[in-house]
């Protein structure tokens, strides 16, 4: 086993093309085990815009570490995103959740490996389930800001992949039907939708939103699809939940603002926190 795989010795550089990103993920997982005292995690959650407080009801926080203390992670770049990694003992199950409070977005220009490093690290900590959350724009005018929507499938418009070389991964059932059923048991009123990832960081034009709808999309955002692909490659079962924080451009007459996004997250906080906690306890 290499030094990286045991957590001893120098960690290879994620940006070096000769580095295997899973070696860095293993080093990160070893460091998380060391810093949290939790040998193995069962489920991992990535908290996106509006979801920052949603892990608080999951259980008791065992440890919280700055993401920058863990190999391969970089500081959070977006206001409203939390740059910590938390280990939580899930109430009533004895399982452990790894909560990634920040994500690297493709639009930051740090490369796809950084975008999916958290997901690969989660898999290396032992997690078998991944919950991806995000804030996004909605195409359905019935989805008022603050509406959570389950991701049924995605369309990746980033023109890139987290997988390198001839890595042919089947994405037929990427967003687990089993986990969506669990979410429906918790809240029978949840709608489902197809999430379309654009690169960003600009929001879409109304014409692009119209296109997203015509090709089968219901939600538009700047994250999640690359992470979901990396998760499937790593063998994780994936649940995706979007918080519609704004109507997508052109769906409403109002212009989009990041302040609106943060406010919708605050207003929906209680409902989505309870939803997330109830779903995770049943996973």
Q: How far is the CB of 39 from ligand 8IG (least distance, A)?
A: 35
- Fill in the per-residue mask, 14 to 33: x = in contact with ligand 8IG (CB under 6 A), - = not in contact: --------------------
Q: What are the strands, taking DSSP E only, across the chain?
A: 43-46, 59-66, 84-90, 96-100, 129-138, 147-156, 191-197, 219-221, 237-247
Taking the least distance from each CB to ligand 8IG, the nearer of 78 and 186 is: 78
Q: For residue 248, state whether it binds ligand 8IG (rule: CB under 6 A).
A: yes
211 burial level (CB within 10 Å; 0-12, 13-18, 19+): middle
- Fill in the per-residue mask, 251 to 270: x = in contact with ligand 8IG (CB under 6 A), - = not in contact: -----x----x---------
CB 84 within 8 A of CB 61: no
Taking the least distance from each CB to ligand 8IG, the nearer of 116 and 136 is: 136
Residue of 246, 272, 275, 276 that binds ligand 8IG (CB under 6 A): 246
Cα→Cα distances 174→29, 114, 170, 273, Å: 24, 21, 8, 24
103 burial level (CB within 10 Å; 0-12, 13-18, 19+): buried
Q: For residue 176, state whether it binds ligand 8IG (rule: CB under 6 A).
A: no
Q: Which helix (H) or strand (E) element contains residue 269?
A: helix 258-282
> In the structure encoding, which two tokens stand for residue 179, read together?
């986990």
Catalytic residue among 64, 164, 192, 204: 204
CB 125 within 8 A of CB 94: no
Q: How many residues bind ligand 8IG (CB under 6 A)?
A: 16
Q: For residue 175, state whether it binds ligand 8IG (rule: CB under 6 A).
A: no
CA distance 67 to 59: 20
Task: Identify whether 237 is a catalytic site residue.
Answer: no
Taking the least distance from each CB to ligand 8IG, the nearer of 5 and 256 is: 256
Q: For residue 198, state whether it binds ligand 8IG (rule: CB under 6 A).
A: yes
Which residues are near ligand 8IG by CB under 6 A?
Answer: 49, 135-137, 198, 200, 203-204, 220-222, 245-246, 248, 256, 261
């Amino acid at each position: 086993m290499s030094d990286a795989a045991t957590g001893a010795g120098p960690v290879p550089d994620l940006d070096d093309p000769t580095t295997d990103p899973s070696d860095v993920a293993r080093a990160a997982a070893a460091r998380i085990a060391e810093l949290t005292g939790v040998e193995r995690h069962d489920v991992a959650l990535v908290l996106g815009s509006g979801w920052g407080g949603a892990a608080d009801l999951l259980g008791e926080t065992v440890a919280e570490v700055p993401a920058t203390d863990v190999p391969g992670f970089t500081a959070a770049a977006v206001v409203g995103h939390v740059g910590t990694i938390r280990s939580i003992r899930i109430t009533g199950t004895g399982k452990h959740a790894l909560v990634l409070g920040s994500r690297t977005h493709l639009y930051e220009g740090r490369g796809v490996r950084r975008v999916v490093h958290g997901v690969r690290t989660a898999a290396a900590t032992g997690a078998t389930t991944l919950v991806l959350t995000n804030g996004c724009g909605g195409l359905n005018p019935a989805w008022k800001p603050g509406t959570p929507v389950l991701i049924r499938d995605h369309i990746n418009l980033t023109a890139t992949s987290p997988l390198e070389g001839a890595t042919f991964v089947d994405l037929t059932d990427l967003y687990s039907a089993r986990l969506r059923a669990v979410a429906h048991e918790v809240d029978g009123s949840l709608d489902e939708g197809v999430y379309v990832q654009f690169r960003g960081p600009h929001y879409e034009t109304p014409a692009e939103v119209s296109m997203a709808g015509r090709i089968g999309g219901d939600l538009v955002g700047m994250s999640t699809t690359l992470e979901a692909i990396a998760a499937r490659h790593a063998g994780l079962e994936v649940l995706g939940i979007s918080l519609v924080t704004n109507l997508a451009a052109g769906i409403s007459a109002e212009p989009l603002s990041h302040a609106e996004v943060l406010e919708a997250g605050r207003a929906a906080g209680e409902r989505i926190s309870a939803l997330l906690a109830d779903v995770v306890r049943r996973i």
